[in-house]
Each structure stands twice: as C-alpha cells, then as structure tokens.
C-alpha cells in the first residue's frame, strides 16, 4: 500500500491538466470579482448619461 502511494505521489501524468484548471478557475474568479466590483459604478454612469441625454433632448428615449 505504501508503494502505491509513493508511486502516485511521483506520477506527474495529468499534472498539466490540473494546473490549467487551477489557472482557468483563478482567471474566471478574478473576472467575476472585477465585474461585481465595477457593476454599481457602471450602472451609475449609465444612468447619468441617460439622464443627461434626456435633459438635452427633452424627449426621453
């Protein structure tokens, strides 16, 4: 049993796949955090632009 664990620890097949999965997960998590952090500010900017356009044209959308 000990030899099996020792062999599994030193086996590097499939290691690249795990590394790519971790990198992909970290990238997706980072993107989700950035989007969630910027969403309120972008929504406020969008609303300000729409309100200013409405004020200039006085006709709405």
- pLDDT of the chain along its 61 residues, tens only? 778 777 767 777 766 778 888 899 999 999 999 999 999 999 999 999 888 886 666 655 5
31 falls within a domain? yes
Domain assignment of residue 30, given as a range: 20-61
Its pTM stands at 0.53
27 falls within a domain? yes
10 falls within a domain? no
CA dist., res. 3 & res. 15, Å (int): 20
35 falls within a domain? yes
């Amino acid at each position: 049993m000990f030899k099996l664990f020792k062999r599994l620890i030193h086996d590097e097949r499939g290691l690249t796949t795990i590394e790519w999965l971790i990198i992909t997960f970290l990238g997706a998590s980072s993107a989700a955090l950035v989007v969630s952090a910027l969403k309120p500010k972008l929504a406020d900017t969008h609303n300000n632009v729409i309100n200013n356009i409405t004020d200039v044209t006085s006709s709405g959308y």
